[in-house]
Structure 1
Amino acid sequence: MPFMIGKAPIRRTLKYLEAGRLILKDQIKIMAVHYHLQGENNKGTKEFVFWYLPQVQYKNPDVQIATFKNLTPSPFIRCFYETGHEMLIDVDGKSKEEIYQHLIKVVGKTKEVLEAESISKEKKDNPANFGVGCDRHCICELPGQIPCPSVVPLPMHMRGKYKYKKD
């Protein structure tokens, strides 16, 4: 496989890309990582860009992610919001895991928000779903369906206790 050639080819596998946990908030539109290639204080940022940035890009397709190398002596991450505000995150001297955990805590969506989005997305995606959180409360709202048994009783031949009654 040609995509398995190069430095750390595991970064290009779909399983690795889907394993990312950093899903940025909806208000963030641009994320810029500024770092220098030399220096001990930039080591964690270089490794973060190498290992975690592909996952962040894969999980956030609507966010523009830019890296700026050798422009500043100290590394930092700048996030731009759609309102025009920006947030500077100091990553000087931190390891790649510390940077990743800090970004999840500061600019990432919380677990509760992610769970609520996944539940609502699953229910809203399929028009056949009905119940709490869906477009329809009951299947009886669709044309051609039998009305709710609580409103109009079912005919005797459609009730299980009469249909399967042993004489």
Structure 2
Amino acid sequence: MPLMKGPAPVRRTMKYLEAGTIIFKDYVKIMLMHYNDENSDSKLYHKGIRDVIFWDVPQIQHKNRLVQIVKVENMTPTPFIMFYLDGSKKMFMDVFAKSREEIMSHMQLILGKTIDELTKEAIKTGQIKNPANFGPTYPRECISEVPGQVFAPCLGRLPDSMRGKKLFPEGRMARKNKNSVWALIS
């Protein structure tokens, strides 16, 4: 499989990408990350942001498709993340000597949507399971499982009054004749 090559190929699997927890609020437009690579003198202070870029940025990109993510390498002596928000506002986040977990929790706290906001959006878009919905991902797979509905023909035989072959035994040609039952109904 060609995608399973390179460092940590698990980062490119759908299961890993869907496991991302940070969904930014709607006013976040651009995320700009400044850091130095491993060859710099201050590599210890930049380890947290490099780990975020390696492990968490693919998940953030997958969950926040409308947010542009830019990585700037070896331009500043201290690592930081700058967020561009609606209305030409900027927000700086200092990540100097912070671990990956500290950076991610701070990002979630400041710019991430809360669980309440996510459930409200899910209800608004209809992603929450409604008892009136049916299909393979819902508790009822077929509408015939609802009491009072006509069951599916694969589950049992329909009454003769609901079967077309019993109403029109001559077949399709009988419908075109003026003396047929079909012509009298229509």
- Distance (whole Å) between structure 1 residues aligned to residue 126 and residue 96 of structure 2: 40
What is the alpha-carbon root mean square deviation over aligned residues?
Answer: 1.6
In structure 1, the partner of 2:44 is 40
- Distance (whole Å) between structure 2 residues aligned to residue 43 and residue 61 of structure 1: 26
In structure 2, the partner of 1:19 is 19
- Distance (whole Å) between structure 2 residues aligned to residue 52 and residue 7 of structure 1: 14
- Distance (whole Å) between structure 1 residues aligned to residue 48 and residue 29 of structure 2: 24
Q: Per-residue displacement from partner, 1:85-140 (whole Å, max 9, x unpaired)? A: 0000000001111101110001111111011101111169x9x87xxxxxxxxxxx
- Distance (whole Å) between structure 2 residues aligned to residue 123 and residue 42 of structure 1: 39
Displacement of 1:8: 0.2
- Distance (whole Å) between structure 2 residues aligned to residue 112 and residue 76 of structure 1: 29
How many residues align structurally?
127
- Distance (whole Å) between structure 1 residues aligned to residue 7 and residue 127 of structure 2: 41
Identity across matched positions, percent: 46
TM-score by length of 2: 0.65
- Distance (whole Å) between structure 1 residues aligned to residue 9 and residue 127 of structure 2: 36
CA distance 1:19–1:123, change in 2 (3 Å): closer
AA matched with 1:82: D
Structure 2: gaps spanning 5 or more residues: 134-186
Which has more radius of gyration?
Answer: 2
- Distance (whole Å) between structure 1 residues aligned to residue 119 and residue 33 of structure 2: 28
Q: 2:97 aligns with which of 93, 99, 105?
A: 93
- Distance (whole Å) between structure 2 residues aligned to residue 123 and residue 107 of structure 1: 23
In structure 2, the partner of 1:134 is none
Q: 2:112 aligns with which of 74, 84, 108?
A: 108
Question: SS in structure 2 opposite 1:72?
Answer: coil
Displacement of 1:50: 0.2
TM-score by length of 1: 0.73
Question: SS in structure 2 opposite 1:40?
Answer: coil
Deviating above 6 A after TM superposition, structure 1's stretches of 4 or more consecutive aligned residues are none
